Chain A
Amino acid sequence: MSGEVLKRARYKTSVKDSGVAGVLKMTEDKFVFMPNDPTSSARFDVEFRFIKGHKFSKGGSNKPALLNLTQDSEKGGGYIFEFENYPDREVCREFVGRALAKFSEASKAGSEQSAVKLFDEQLSTIEMERRIKLLREDSELQKLHKQFVLSGVLTEAEFWATRKKLLDGNTSRTSKQRVGFKSAMISDLKPLTDGRTNRVTFNLTPEIIHQIFAEKPAVHQAFLNFVPNKMTEKDFWNKYCRAEYLHCTRNTVAAAAEAAEDEELAVFLKHDDILANEARRKIRRVDPTLDMEADQGDDYMHLPDHGIFRDGSKEIIDPQYEQYRRTLSQDLNRHAAVVLEGRPIDVELEDTRTVAEALAKSKRVEAANEKSDGSVTRERLERISRMTEIEDLQAPRDLPFAALCIKDPRDYFDSQQANALKTLGDTLAGSKQIKCSLSTQEAYGSLRGFISEIKSVGLSDPIVKPDIALKVLNGLTQNISSTKFHLGKNPQESVLDRLPIITKEELLHHWTSIQELLRHFWSSYPITTTYLYTKASRLKDAMSQIYPKLQEIKESVQSDFRHQVSLLVQPMLQALDAAFAHYDADQQKRSARSGERPNGFV
C-alpha cells in the first residue's frame, strides 16, 4: 500500500468533460494513466516532479469525486481525474499529497530525505481507511490535516502520532486478550428430556467440544481416529451422548452390556487409559514433600472415590463392572487441572476437526519440549529445596525498603548558577567581577545599626506610597468590573458568541492550528537529531506565518469588538512569542557551543 496505488478513474480535460475511462496507477515518483480503450490517445506517464499541487472537489452526495493535479500555476494545465467514489479519491489524494510533500522537501535538503524515509510508515488498508473515515467525519480535523500535512509542515506520521487514541478507537486491547476455560463444568453435559416423546437432547457448542477434548484425551484420540474414516461427526457425537446418558443413569450393568456390543461406544464408557498414563507419569515427577494421598484416586489404580464412603457404607460392585464406573471427584479434579493449565490453543472454535488437530499438535509440541528441556530436573531440585523449609518457620521474605536520603537543595541551585554564570561570562566579555568579603563581625554590626535606626526613626521611605497605591487599586477595580459588565450577566453566553461569526470561526481556527503547531514544536525539544531540528524550523516557519494573520484580525474587526478580540488574541500571541523565544535561545546556545559551524548542525 505504501509503494503504489491503483484505482479506476476517468481522465477529463475539464470538469464538464465526460472523460475517458481507465486505470490510474501511482507510484512514489510518477503516475501512469492507461485508458480502457487501447485506441484512445489519453495515455500519460508523468513524474510528480512536474506536478506542483493538487486540488479536489468538496464532498457531496451528487458531486463527482474529482482530483486535479496542477502543473506550473502560471502556465496552467493539469490532469483532472474523476473517481468512482470518495474513498478512492481520498486514498489517491493522500498518496499524491505525500508524494508532493516528499518532493518539495527533497528540493530543500537532500540529506533530509533519508531521515524522512525512516519515518515512512507501512500502513495497512485498515489504517488508511480508518484515517480517511476520521477525516471525513470531523471537518476540523480535515482542515488541520489539509493545512499542515498537505503543505508539508507536518508529515502524516507526526500528525497522527498525537491522535493515537482516535485511531485505536474500536480496536481496543481486549480483542487481544484470550479467555481461559470456564470454571463451570460445561463438559458435563446435562440433557433436556422430553417426557412425552421420550427423547433426550444434548446441546453441544464448540466451546463445550473444546473442553471435552481437553479433558478427555481418549475421546480426543477417538475423534481423530474415527472421524471421518469410520463414522461421521454426527454419529460420533451421538455415540458420545449415548455414553454420557448411560453414565447419568449410573447403570453399570447396562453400560457393560452396551459396551460389549458396540466397540466404539466402549471407548467412551471405559476408563481413559491415556489419562491414566499421564496421571501416573505426573505423580512420579511431583516433588517428595507434597502429600499425595488424596490424589491416589486419580490414577485409576487405587481406590476410586478416594476412599471416601458414600452413606457410611461401601458400594459393592462386581469387579467386572468396575471399569464402567466413573466418579464425580475424578471428573472434578480433571476439570480443575485442565482449567489451571490454561487454554493451549487460540484457534477459532468453529470446525471441530480443526480444534481437534490443533489440540493434538499443541500436545505433541509440549511433549517434545518436555523431553528436550534439561532444565526441568534442575527446576524440580530447586523447588524441592525451597519446599523442604516449613513455611511457618521461614523468615518473612519482604523486600527491603529504601532509606530516605535528601540532598541539600543548595547543591542544585549552586550548580545551576555556575552554569548560568559560565554562559553569561562567555557572551558578556569584559565585565569585571567585584569581590567583596565581610567578616561576620562587620555584617552583624551593620545590621544592628540599621535595626536601631529604624526603631528610632521609623521607615522614612515606605515601599508603597499610599496615594499611588490607592490610584492603582481604583484603576484595577474599575477594569475588572467593566470587563465583567461588558460580558453581560448571562453566564451561558461566552465571549466568542458575541463576536460576528466569521471572526469567531477565524479565531477558533487560528487557535486550533496554533495549538497543533505548538504541541509538535514543544515535543521536538530537546533537539537530539537533525530530523527534530528540521522539524522545529519547519514549525517555526509555519508559526511565523500565522503571526501576522492574527495581527490582521485585530485590525480588520469592527471597533466595538476590537478590545475583546485583542484580549482574546493576546494570549495566543504570547504563546507564539514564548515559542519563538525558546527557539532563539536554543539557537544561540547551539551556535555558542559549536562555534562557527553552519546551519547549527550538531
Chain B
Amino acid sequence: EDEDEGNGLDAWERAYADERSWESLQEDESGLLRPIDNKTIYHAQYRRRIRTTARIQKGLIRYLYIVVDLSRAASEMDFKPSRMAVVAKHIEAFIREFFDQNPLSQIGLVTIKDGLAQCLTDLGGSPDSHVKALMGKLECSGDSSLQNALDLVHGYLNQIPSYGHREVLILYSALSTCDPGDIMETIQECKKSKIRCSVIGLSAEIFICRHLCQETGGSYSVALDESHFKELLLEHAPPPPAIAEFAIANLIKMGFPQRAAEGVISICSCHKEAKVGGGYTCPRCKARVCELPTECRICGLTLVSSPHLARSYHHLFPIPPFDEVSLSLNNPHQRSSRACFGCQESLLIPGNKPTLCVACPKCKQHFCLDCDIYIHESLHNCPGCESFR
C-alpha cells in the first residue's frame, strides 16, 4: 500500500513533484506564454464519446422534464458562486443545444423546494420562455423530495401520446430525500410508464439515485467541477438510444406549412395581433402561425419544416468514426494531403514532424482533430463524401 501512495504523496501532489507539469509551458518569440495544447486531450475525450455505429433506434421526439433541486443544499458554495447559479447558467446553454439537436422535442421545468415539487413551465418548444421562468425563480430553501418530483412529472408525462419518448433529467444537489411515502413504489410506476430518468448529482453518489437510474434505463453521473458538470449535462442533448421494450413504432401526422405571401395580412392565432406577411399557414385548417416547429392551435396538427426533420434524421445515421492516421512525408500518395480538407490548415507542425490526423474511411480525405470533432458533433455530414456526390 505504501508503494501505491508513493512516499505518502497524493496524486495531485505527484503531478507537481514527479511529473513537473510546469515544464510543458513554452514561450514564443516575444516572451509570451503559449497556450497549452489541449487538443489531444479533447480529442481523446471525444473519441470516448463516440459509440458503436450499430443501427439502433433513437428517441427523436422527446418530451423532457428538467427537475432542478432548489433545496438548502443548492446554496452551497463549492461551485462558484453557488450550486444553484451554476446549474441555472448551464441549463440555459443546455436548453438551446437541446432544441438545436432535437427540434421536434419539448422541454418542461420542475423545481423542488421545501419538500414539494412545483411545475415551473409546461412542456413547450420555445427556449426563451423556459429560461426566463427559471431565472426569475432562483431561491432555495428547505428539504428536497425525490418522490414528490417524480410523482409530479409522472402525472404530466402520462398525458403525452405514445410515440413520444418520456424523459426526466434530475439535477440533484442534496444528499438526502425526505419523502412522504415509499419511493420504491414511485420508481416502479415510472418504470411502468416508460419514463427514462437520469440524474446528475452535484455532491456525492446516492444509492437511491443510482437505483432509480438503473431501473428506468437512465444514466447517473456525479459532477466533479463546473466544466465536468457542463460536459455531463450536454451529453444529454443528443437523443438517447431507445430501449427495446419501450419503443413503439407509429405513423405520425405532420404538416409542412408554406410561408405566407408578403402581402397577406392576417390575425395570427398565437398573439391575436394582425401581422403583415411572413408567418406560416397550417395546411389543414389554414390558421396562421408565427414560427415553426409548433402545434397548430386550432386543429392540433404538428407543424414542422423539412430542415427540422433533417436535423433529427441524421442522429439515426451517424458518420462512422474517422481512422487515425499519421502523416509521413515520404509517402508519395500522401503528398497532396498536407492540408486539412475541411479548414485548409496545414497538418504539419513546424519542424516537419509527422502529426496526428484523421481520415474518413469512405472518401479518404484527411482532417485535423478540430474538424473531426466539429464534423461528428455539429455538422453531421462529411465534407469529403458530400463533395464527391
Q: Which residues of A approach B to under 8 Å, CB–CB? A: 172-174, 177-183, 339, 342-343, 397-406, 412, 479-480, 483-484, 487, 494-496, 507-508, 511-512, 515, 518-519, 522-523, 564, 567-568, 570-572, 574-575, 577-579, 582
Contact = CB atoms under 8 A, between A and B. Distances in A.
B287 interface: yes
A264 B118 CA distance: 45
Contact of A518 (B217, B265, B298): B298
Interface string B241-273: 111111100010000000000111111010011
A177 B285 contact: no
A399 B267 contact: no
A598 B182 CA distance: 58
A397 B176 contact: no
B287 A575 contact: yes
A111 B285 CA distance: 31
Contacts of B356: none
A480 B116 contact: no
Interface stretch (B80-88, B147-155, B220-228, B334-342): B147-155
A474 to B, nearest CB: 14
Contacts of B297: 515, 519
Residue among A181, A494, A578 with the most chain B CB within 10 A? Answer: A578
Given A173-B152, A402-B244, A496-B274, A339 B117 contact: no
Interface string B189-221: 000000000000000000000000010010000
A564 B242 CA distance: 52
A174 B286 CA distance: 39
A562 to B, nearest CB: 13
Nearest to B191: A399
B143 A173 contact: no
Given A401-B242, A402-B242, A522-B300, A178 B180 contact: yes
B238 to A, nearest CB: 14
B128 interface: no
B334 to A, nearest CB: 36
Contacts of A518: 285, 287, 298-299
Given A484-B276, A495-B276, A568 B179 contact: no
Given A402-B244, A480-B262, A518-B287, A568 B57 contact: no
B143 A479 contact: no
A9 to B, nearest CB: 39
Interface string B101-124: 000000000000011111100000
A571 B264 contact: yes
B186 to A, nearest CB: 11
Interface string B52-85: 0011110000000000000000000000000000
A174 B116 contact: yes
B244 A571 contact: no
B263 A177 contact: no
A399 B284 contact: no
B35 interface: no
Interface in B160-189: 176-182
B265 A182 contact: no
Nearest to B296: A522
B366 interface: no
The 8 A-B pairs of least Cβ separation, nearest first, read A522-B299, A571-B266, A180-B178, A178-B180, A404-B55, A179-B115, A402-B57, A402-B247
Given A173-B119, A522-B300, 8 more contacts: A174-B152, A183-B176, A342-B181, A403-B54, A480-B263, A487-B276, A522-B284, A567-B263
A484 B263 CA distance: 8
A495 B237 CA distance: 42
B316 interface: yes
Contacts of B244: 399-403
Residue among B115, B117, B178, B265 with the most chain A CB within 10 A? Answer: B265
B56 A494 contact: no
Contacts of A179: 114-116, 143, 145, 148, 178, 180
Interface residues of B, number: 57
Given A177-B117, A342-B179, A183 B143 contact: yes
Nearest to B144: A183
A174 B110 CA distance: 12
Given A398-B217, A402-B242, A518-B287, A342 B182 contact: yes
A578 B265 contact: no
Given A402-B243, A403-B57, A578-B286, A180 B274 contact: no
A475 to B, nearest CB: 11
A518 B179 CA distance: 45
B288 interface: yes
Contacts of A172: 118-119
Contacts of B264: 567, 570-571
B284 A578 contact: yes
A557 B354 CA distance: 80
A584 to B, nearest CB: 15
A409 to B, nearest CB: 11
A494 B143 CA distance: 50
Contacts of A511: 267
Contacts of B119: 172-173
Contact of B57 (A401, A412, A571, A582): A401
A564 B285 CA distance: 22
Given A402-B242, A480-B262, A579 B276 contact: no
A406 B143 CA distance: 47
A177 B152 contact: yes
Contacts of A401: 56-57, 241-244
Contact of A522 (B152, B177, B277, B298): B298
A180 B115 contact: yes
A446 B150 CA distance: 67
Nearest to B208: A340
A483 B262 contact: yes
B318 to A, nearest CB: 11
Residue among A179, A342, A508, A564 with the most chain B CB within 10 A? Answer: A179
Residue among A183, A511, A519 with the most chain B CB within 10 A? Answer: A183
B265 A495 contact: yes
A568 B263 contact: no
Residue among A181, A479, A518, A571 with the most chain B CB within 10 A? Answer: A571
Contacts of A174: 116-118, 152
A180 B114 CA distance: 10
Contacts of B284: 522, 578, 582
Contacts of A480: 262-263, 277
A487 B179 CA distance: 60
Contact of A575 (B56, B114, B217, B285): B285
Interface in B278-303: 281, 284-288, 297-300
Given A174-B118, A179-B145, A568 B300 contact: no
Contacts of B115: 179-180, 182
A511 B217 CA distance: 48
A399 B245 contact: yes
Contacts of B287: 515, 518, 575
Given A339-B178, A479-B263, A182 B143 contact: yes
A423 B115 CA distance: 60
A406 B57 CA distance: 9
A495 B264 CA distance: 12
B176 A404 contact: no
A3 B242 CA distance: 51
Contacts of B262: 479-480, 483
A244 to B, nearest CB: 23
